[in-house]
Structure 1
Amino acid sequence: VGTTDSALDANGVLEIDTTISLETTWHAMEELVSMGLVRSIGI
């Protein structure tokens, strides 16, 4: 399936922080585009 450097719980399930909204994440990604660190945002 592949590997990840992300944190996994004791059962090997990816730990996802659900306290951060998708809107907040999207705005942060837009800022990365503005800073020239990424060219586009894909979904």
Structure 2
Amino acid sequence: KKRLENEKKHPKLSKKDLDILEEKLEELKEKIKASNFKCIR
């Protein structure tokens, strides 16, 4: 847990990198939602 806090204080990623990561995360979430939905049905 300590390490995470240190990384927040010293972010190595630029804002652009973070935006790209966030976009990919959203895409993944949508894919997971879709596949879960198919499984349920």
> Could you tell me the TM-score, scaled by structure 1's length?
0.43
Per chain length, whose mean CA-contact separation is higher, i.e. which structure has more relative contact order (CA < 8 Å, sep 6+)?
Answer: 1
Structure with the bigger percentage of helix: 2
CA radius of gyration, larger in: 2
> Could you tell me the TM-score, scaled by structure 2's length?
0.44
